[in-house]
Every structure is written in C-alpha cells, then in structure tokens.
Structure 1
C-alpha cells in the first residue's frame, strides 16, 4: 500500500466518523457560511499578483516534522505582509499535523486574500465543511477521485460559492477532468505515490492545458528563478510551502523570495 493509499483509506474512516457526529445543518448555520468569498482565480490573474500561494504546513509523510514551532498567526501575518496571492492551509491532522482550527484562526486575521483548504477530499461533506470554517477554495486531487467524483464535487463547490484547485500529476489525471476551460489546474511536481519531486512534470503537462485555464505549479519550488522559467510556459500560480516553512521565520522567507521575482 502506497502512502497515498494509506492516507485515503484513513481519511474515509475519519470523515465517516465526523459525519456521524456533526449534521450538515450545523455547518450551514456557522457564521463563516454566510460570508462572501475571495476569488482564487482573480487573485492569481490580476495584473499585480505575485502568483504565490504560500502554504502553512507543519509536517509531511515524506519529510517528517518541517516546523512545529511557528504559529498560524505569525505565519499568516508574515505571508500577508509579503503580498502573497493566496494562502494554503493543510487541515489534515494525522499525516500533516494541520487542523481545521488553523484555517479558522487564519481567517480571523486574513480578511484580504483567498484561503485554500488543502486536504484529501473524499466526500462532499468536506466541501460543506470547508465553507463553514472559512475557506474560499478547496483542493480536489484527481489521482484520488473518479471523473464523476471530480465533476460532482466541483459542482457542489461551485454551488456553495467556492472555487476549486484541481490537482493533477499525470495525463491520466488530466483526462478525468471534464471541460478544462476556465478551471484552476494545479500540476503537482511531487509524485503522490512515491513523494519524489520532478519539476519537469509541470512543463510536460502545461501544453495539454488550454490557455483559458489558470495553471498552477505545486511542490519543489525553491528558487525564484524557477518562477521565471515556469511563467514562460503559461503558469500564473505557484504553490510553495516547505521552502518557507522549513525556516525559523516563514513569513520573512516568503517576503525575501517574492522580492526576487518582482
């Protein structure tokens, strides 16, 4: 069983347990559910966008502990000061050390840029949950979902006023997504089965995605010069987490990184 298969199997049990304890009605009645959303697409494509989606990540299955001392408040404030296009927050606890409380806390501070809930969505309940905790967008990983699930979950998110970052790693993943026009497509340079990183993935798949879609490169971006190169292939978004989080001051690291790409 791969790391990804373990995560998905665990996630399905975890979500089933939460669904049994928390009615959807309670989520819909939460204060965040009624708030207007910030558009991830607009944040990535506007004329002055840095394109950086800066992530808050404490740990990962491949790297272990990355940063267990930085607070969500300090990092969020630092990212906002750095003028990130958006913020990504991992809410998976068992494998990545994140919590839904992290996102809720960041939302109280971040009232200006989109927040992506980064998790392994295996049930529509998690999309309703994402809106209830204050997210503006959700991640749908094509490797983990069928074409029908991608379509249904994407429609549910849209109905709720949330945007979707569709994550792919292979041509097979891309083929599962119907009608690529105007969608936000993220190409993960990290193989979720082996957790190895290969930046050539973004470049190889970029030409298969129409220009009407917003292209995002994810994982393994550690040098500002990589951003310049990826922009030549039409990428407008760059999801970076570990490169910032492995430092003592992720917000400052983010500011220094962005200052080199402007």
Structure 2
C-alpha cells in the first residue's frame, strides 16, 4: 500500500506548480497544555474506511470549539483532500491547522505554508534519515512546526534531532492494521515535549489507554462517523 502511495506522490510532486496563495493569517502555535488535547481530522475518505458521507466543512465550527488543532488531509487520490481544501479550512477557523500528507519534497511544505497550515506532518517511515532532517529544518525555517510521525522503534532511529512534536501511529501504513499496544510502548520511550497518539482512538477507553504516555490525540474516524459531534467530543475529552 505505502509503495503505491509514494509512487503516486512522486508523480504528483513533479506536476506541482507554483502555489497561487499568499498567506494572510499569522502562524498559530497550538496549546497542548490540557490533560486531554485533540487534533481533529478532516478528510473525505480513507483507505481503511472508504468514503465518509459527511459534509466535512460543516464540522469546522465544532472542531474549532473543542479541538486544539485541525488535521487536514491534502492527499487527493487516497484521502480526497487538496491544498485548496486546506486553504478553505484555514479561512473558517482560528485554531492551528496540521497539513497531513505524504510529504517528500520542500514544494509541498511551501504549499502547506501558503495555504494556511501551521504544522506539517513528516512521516519517518517514508523518508531516509537525511531527508527527514532536511524537511524538518525547512519546516522550521518557514516558521511552521513539524509533527514527526513514527510507527516502529526502527523509525525512531531516523530521528537525529530533538523533535518538538512526536507522534506514534498505531496503524501500519502497509497492512492498515491497528496495534495500539506497540504504539503505547513506543510512546513510553519518547522524551519529546509533545507526544501524540494517532489512529484507532474511538472512545474514552482508548484515551484512557494512552493517557499515561500521551496527552495529545489525533482523531478522525470517530468524529467523522459521529451522529452527535459535540457529544462525541465531550466523551473523548472526559467532560
């Protein structure tokens, strides 16, 4: 799965033109100081679920009320997103935006910054050690933050710098299987200022499972499938 995604992304980056946007809003830094902090995800579809029959733009008001940041998928083929979509979201919220994509080139970071992102996802699994460092440094040169994502202890070996935001994805990008126990074990070994649990977080019990080792949770499916978004947020936030 991941090889197909990267092959498609390489072609996409080659055809990426100059970004037409000029950033008009200041770069925001998320406040992750609460016991439970949510990064709420917006996407039209996913390989693990299929299409979400939801008007995702209608969720922005609730996301902005309860979440500390909004994750916006900009990959088009597999997640139905775009930088144009990120730009639209940025105009409708006053909280930080995470650009979530398979970032392999500085051009993508330029687009993310111009479209309104405040944080950029960098996936260790798809980058070699030098490229990860190069893209991390470039992200911070632009004034943005980087969320460095790992899935295994092997991924951690690629990180040669002190990452401010470190996330552990419970989902294997090849098989799409979820392994929360391994993710929790990896999180317990991290010393980053901000530790983020990603994927497979469906309800309060999953939050409680990760709370000893993380206090930021990237949540998509549970919110996108919810029939009562505010009630779902209150449960997840233990309110």
**1:63-82 CA-partner distances (Å, limit 9, x unpaired):** 211x133131x11112112x
* Residues 50, 85 of structure 1: 8 Å contact kept: no
1:231 lines up with 2:211 in the alignment: yes
* Residues 188, 201 of structure 1: 8 Å contact kept: no
In structure 2, stretches of 5+ residues that fail to align are: none
Distance 2:184 2:81 in 1: 30
* Residues 50, 84 of structure 1: 8 Å contact kept: no
**Structure 1 pair 136–202 and aligned structure 2 pair: CA distance change class (3 A):** same
Find the counterpart in structure 2 of residue 247 from structure 1.
226
Compare the two structures and name the one with the higher helix fraction.
Answer: 1
> Which of the numbers 153, 160, 184 marks the counterpart of 2:142?
160
Deviation (angstroms), 1:178: 1.2
Larger relative contact order (Cα-Cα within 8 Å, sequence gap ≥ 6):
1
**Structure 1 pair 58–248 and aligned structure 2 pair: CA distance change class (3 A):** farther
Q: TM-score, normalised by structure 2?
A: 0.93
**1:136-185 CA-partner distances (Å, limit 9, x unpaired):** 000000010011111000000000001000000001101101133x5211
Q: TM-score, normalised by structure 1?
A: 0.85
> Which of the numbers 131, 134, 143 marks the counterpart of 2:116?
134
Distance 2:10 2:226 in 1: 33
> Which of the numbers 198, 217, 223 marks the counterpart of 2:179?
198
Aligned length: 239
> Which of the numbers 151, 166, 171 marks the counterpart of 2:153?
171
* Residues 117, 130 of structure 1: 8 Å contact kept: yes
Distance 2:53 2:164 in 1: 34
Task: Name segments (4+ residues, structure 1) moved above 4 Å.
Answer: none
**1:69-98 CA-partner distances (Å, limit 9, x unpaired):** 3131x11112112x2111101111111111
Find the counterpart in structure 2 of residue 79 from structure 1.
63
Distance 2:187 2:97 in 1: 24
